[in-house]
Structure 1
Amino acid sequence: MDRRDAATGEFATIPAVLAERARRDGTRVAVVSPEGQLTYAGLAAAARRVTQAVMARSVRPGERVAIWAPNTPRWVIAALGVLGAGATLVPLGTRLRGPEAAGILARSRCRMLLTVSDFLGNDYPGMLRASGSALPELRTVVFLDESRENRPEELSWARFLDLGEVIPVAEADARSASVAPESISDILFTSGTTGAPKGVPTTHRQTIEAFTHWADAVTLSGDDRYLLVNPFAHTFGYKAGIIACLLRGATMVPVDRFDPERVFGVIERERITVLTGPPTLFHDLLAHDRRADCDLSSLRLAGTGGSSVPTELVERIRRELGAGEVFTGYGLTESTGVATVCPPDTPMVLLAETVGKALPETQIHVVDDAGQPVPVGQPGEIVVRGPNVMHGYLDDPAATATAIDAGGWLHTGDIGTLDADGYLRITDRRTDMFMVGGFNVYPAEIERILRSHPAIGEAAVIGVPDARLGEVGHAFVVPDGIAEIDPAEIIAWARTHLAGYKLPRRLEIVAALPRNASGKVLKRVLRSHVAQP
């Protein structure tokens, strides 16, 4: 059966892309691990075995299958096999606790969970049991590691695959070929930085179109060897990682956790050419002692983003890590993970201070509180419209109506500006803004100024109650070295760089800022810290 989309002639489902990649580039190395490597033909065959096993467990097209595990080759194989069975993938972050994971499994009505019993001391099935949550629709738990089944619903990896042998290969291939471009490929849950995570269903077509444009913009190619350290439970790891590699025929090198020394070793040993991550990942790599001792000459491309990136960081990535090409970008789970890209050939000032221009077919506006576009260069809420924007949150029409207006514009909650050429600058989160004596204060502006001090590596600012002014700024800073920081001196320095109403009234020195798995600072954690007596 021809797996091309009738309207476009393109391969518009993930199983179809995998099949075509195996046909055209079957001998190309797809996945590398310490245990060995898989070609694209081998990856397709391994994924088909998972498809057979999923079918053998009576999972029907459209039903949900979760993966709660670290980045490994088996995660890649399992995910592609689940999608080949026509099921919907629900990735869970490894930092979730039992009740959090149980809540997502229940809300998405998952029939199967693929997981591990030991990662960084976490027993995920044990955490689920300890949560006491009822999950009547969850019928099968499969171990991706070498754990053995101890309960009736549990299956070892080997036994799971063996059960699939009752499904003929032709039947599995027919199931994969029957997946439609508009079928829901996955449901990713938002990070929950501003509240309870919400499920975002995405179609095969949306994912493939968005990350075809993304791969074009960032210059990813089949000759690249891509270190995948961003968690697969997030779009940055799963879609800008696995799916982008699949679309280009690049080699995937999964790493289950970020450790600078380990990452340097993998780059050197595997001749990695592409490395992506939040700015904190690059800060940690640049601060590590072993950097100068490693051969990083293979690196050609580094990607980061989500907000403005200091020019100095871009320069240091190029100079000290040897990645001559750097790109930035911006997106949300609700926009299939990507909305803008600043390609590697963009002038430095734009690369560092903006997140680029809208992807092809995507529109970006900046609007006022009435939803009307503001003049060029003026701040307002960033709204996005295009085929990459979600159709709605999972089983939450009220939240959908709040997020997407009648014109189809996704209201991001982010504050930014657009210049005359369409380059987008992110200046803050609408929900992070606070008011000091009637003046709007955007923390990102203060954070940028604080980070420019040579003794400060990272900074986060929140608004806290004040009897006279309503709210005032409270700053948390991470030192950029071993030298002691005097908060009073920093505030005195900041007084010469900021208007009085923007000046933090208190500054705390901390060892690290609380972040979620995708690198976002958890300001609600900082607020709760300040609220504690």
Structure 2
Amino acid sequence: MIDELAHLRPGHRGLADLFHDCLAKDQGAALDALPLDDRAADGPRALALDSMELLSIAGAVSQRFGLDLLGIDDYLLARRRFGDWIDLIIHGREKLAGTVDDGMVFFSSGSTGTPKPVRHHLDDLRAEIDGLIQGMGAPRRILSLVPSHHIYGFIFTILGAARAFPATPSSDHDGDALQRLDLRRQTPAALARQVQAGDWIIAHPGFWRLAAPRLAAMPQAVAISSTAPLDRDVAAQIMASGLIGYEIYGSTETAGLGLRRMDEPSFRLMDGWQRSAGEDEIHRADGRVADVQDHFIWDEDGRFRPDGRRDEAIQVLGINVYPAEIARLLETHPKVSKAAVRLMRPDEGDRLKAFVVPVDDLDPRSAQNLGDDLMHWCAQKLAPAQCPRSFTMGPALPRTGMGKAMDWVI
């Protein structure tokens, strides 16, 4: 719901702040009573969703949890308190358990950059996390630095907790209540003070890049990274600190495909996956082929290394972004004639940069003002990972003597 509302209200943090405040104060009852629409004039603080926002979020919740398959999704519009939605989701999941529809939907950016739904059967995801627990050892606690509605976060922080800390009949709440910690609102430096032996730390390369230099003499815990390639020097820092590091290779479309220790050059296929006849194909035992976006180099022992993407996507903050699509969007701005978007060089940063040819010739001050305007304009139209963090102005896009597009220095 937080993620969906962020798309509907760019820059609005009210819902996220409200949820985190209630959870931090253990005010579950307050969340249950929370009105979702804008009709409540008194009582608990309302989210004040208008009719279109409510319809959009209800549709996303229904699709993700499979309520539409049961024909009970209309109840989301009839029952407009947060606790009612939780009860309806639990009811729906109980009805779907053990059926062919017992799955979850996650959303991925396709080749056009448009989010697309991808359904995964829960048996496949449970088998993946069970194999990882068997191979890496069950966690003592799970420290999460990733959102749990993305497939990587879901497998490790939701299913991982459920499989490692199952609820007991005598407990009034899930068995993972004290063993799963959400640290997304803490600094990388704070992580080192909280890690204990046996923990699993679930994070993405952007976080590890910031945290790795601050790690020293760490307890023997497991550091896990996914969503994008991890720089080898960052991986070396993690391993040198005493943490046992692993990288997961996969995507929203495939879930986990490969696993390697951070000091290994290649991934081994996870249980349930096999190499196909094609160089870039992997399939399950039942013949289902993985929808992979990379080329592979295979080692003689059956391990593999990704060797560049097939589409035009690049990874920023662990998210697929499409620079050509962003450049085309910039060219719709009335003051922009041409635009190019690239990933910053390692010495410049790890975000996107843009080169813009203005419609009119600009003096340096006017160019700076246009760059500031474009940064604000992008923030209203794009997700944070898609927004360029540097704008360079010039009379023509950078090209080589042969006329090919080339990089530029910020």
Does structure 1 residue 227 correspond to structure 2 residue 138? Answer: no
- Give the one of 407, 410, 413 matched to 2:293: 413
Corresponding residue for residue 164 of structure 2: 248
Equivalent residue runs for 1:161-176 within 5 Å: 176=94
Q: TM-score, normalised by structure 2?
A: 0.56
Secondary structure of residue in 2 paired with 1:209 = helix
Equivalent residue runs for 1:281-430 within 5 Å: 281-287=207-213, 291=214, 297-319=218-240, 321-323=241-243, 325-335=244-254, 337-343=255-261, 348=263, 351=264, 353-354=265-266, 356-365=267-276, 373-374=278-279, 382-386=280-284, 408-430=288-310
Q: What CA deviation, in whole Å up to 9, does each residue of 1:145-195 have, x standing for no partner?
A: xxxxxx9854265xx59x97xx9xxxx999848721533331111145742
Q: CA deviation at 1:282?
A: 1.0
Distance change (3 Å), C-alpha of 1:475 and 1:211:
closer
- Mind listing any 5+ residue stretches in structure 2 that lack a counterpart? 22-34, 39-46, 62-76, 166-175, 329-339, 350-377, 397-410
Corresponding residue for residue 408 of structure 2: none
Corresponding residue for residue 260 of structure 1: 188
Q: What CA deviation, in whole Å up to 9, does each residue of 1:98-129 have, x standing for no partner?
A: 179xxxxxxxxxxxxxx7573699x9978884
Corresponding residue for residue 477 of structure 1: 345
Q: CA deviation at 1:409?
A: 2.2
Letter paired with 2:306: I
Does structure 1 residue 208 correspond to structure 2 residue 208? Answer: no
**Does structure 2 retain, via aligned residues, the 8 Å contact 1:181–1:203?**
no
- Give the one of 183, 186, 192 matched to 2:104: 186
User: How many angstroms apart in 1 are the aligned matches of 2:392 and 2:308?
Assistant: 21
Letter paired with 2:293: G
Corresponding residue for residue 24 of structure 2: none
Equivalent residue runs for 1:79-94 within 5 Å: 93=3
Secondary structure of residue in 1 paired with 2:305 = strand
Q: What CA deviation, in whole Å up to 9, does each residue of 1:338-357 have, x standing for no partner?
A: 1111147xxx3xx2x33x11
Equivalent residue runs for 1:441-452 within 5 Å: none
User: How many angstroms apart in 2 are the aligned matches of 1:94 and 1:178?
Assistant: 24
Does structure 1 residue 195 correspond to structure 2 residue 63? Answer: no
**Does structure 2 retain, via aligned residues, the 8 Å contact 1:220–1:248?**
no
Letter paired with 1:311: R
User: How many angstroms apart in 1 are the aligned matches of 2:4 and 2:186?
Assistant: 13
Corresponding residue for residue 360 of structure 2: none
User: How many angstroms apart in 1 are the aligned matches of 2:282 and 2:111?
Assistant: 20
Secondary structure of residue in 1 paired with 2:291 = strand
Q: CA deviation at 1:283?
A: 0.9
Secondary structure of residue in 1 paired with 2:162 = helix
Secondary structure of residue in 2 paired with 1:238 = helix
User: How many angstroms apart in 2 are the aligned matches of 1:417 and 1:125?
Assistant: 52
Q: CA deviation at 1:480?
A: 7.7
User: How many angstroms apart in 1 are the aligned matches of 2:303 and 2:80?
Assistant: 51
**Does structure 1 retain, via aligned residues, the 8 Å contact 2:248–2:256?**
yes
Q: TM-score, normalised by structure 1?
A: 0.44
Q: CA deviation at 1:197?
A: 0.8
Q: CA deviation at 1:475?
A: 5.5
User: How many angstroms apart in 2 are the aligned matches of 1:385 and 1:227?
Assistant: 31
**Does structure 2 retain, via aligned residues, the 8 Å contact 1:462–1:527?**
no
Q: What CA deviation, in whole Å up to 9, does each residue of 1:35-90 have, x standing for no partner?
A: xxxxxxxxxxxxxxxxxxxxxxxxxxxxxxxxx24xxxxxxxxxxxxxxxxxxxxx
Q: Quote the RMSD (CA, aligned, Å).
A: 5.1
User: How many angstroms apart in 1 are the aligned matches of 2:99 and 2:78?
Assistant: 36
Secondary structure of residue in 1 paired with 2:134 = helix
Q: CA deviation at 1:303?
A: 1.4
User: How many angstroms apart in 2 are the aligned matches of 1:264 and 1:131?
Assistant: 45
- Give the one of 92, 95, 98 matched to 2:8: 98
User: How many angstroms apart in 2 are the aligned matches of 1:521 and 1:174?
Assistant: 34
Q: What CA deviation, in whole Å up to 9, does each residue of 1:240-264 have, x standing for no partner?
A: 2221232233732223435313433
Does structure 1 residue 237 correspond to structure 2 residue 146? Answer: no
User: How many angstroms apart in 2 are the aligned matches of 1:174 and 1:152?
Assistant: 16
Corresponding residue for residue 334 of structure 2: none
User: How many angstroms apart in 2 are the aligned matches of 1:154 and 1:174?
Assistant: 17
- Mind listing any 5+ residue stretches in structure 1 that lack a counterpart? 1-67, 70-92, 101-114, 142-150, 366-371, 375-381, 390-406, 434-442, 448-459, 466-471, 482-513
User: How many angstroms apart in 1 are the aligned matches of 2:137 and 2:152?
Assistant: 14
User: How many angstroms apart in 1 are the aligned matches of 2:157 and 2:275?
Assistant: 24
Secondary structure of residue in 2 paired with 1:186 = strand
Q: What CA deviation, in whole Å up to 9, does each residue of 1:343-377 have, x standing for no partner?
A: 47xxx3xx2x33x1111221234xxxxxx724xxx
Letter paired with 1:210: E
Q: What CA deviation, in whole Å up to 9, does each residue of 1:203-240 have, x standing for no partner?
A: 221221222223333x1315x22201211011221112
Letter paired with 2:144: L
Identity of aligned residues (%): 14
Secondary structure of residue in 1 paired with 2:248 = strand
**Does structure 1 retain, via aligned residues, the 8 Å contact 2:103–2:119?**
yes
Letter paired with 1:183: D
**Does structure 1 retain, via aligned residues, the 8 Å contact 2:144–2:181?**
yes
Q: CA deviation at 1:131?
A: 8.8
Distance change (3 Å), C-alpha of 1:284 and 1:124:
farther
Secondary structure of residue in 2 paired with 1:427 = strand
Q: How many residues are aligned here?
A: 294
User: How many angstroms apart in 1 are the aligned matches of 2:309 and 2:117?
Assistant: 21
Distance change (3 Å), C-alpha of 1:190 and 1:124:
farther
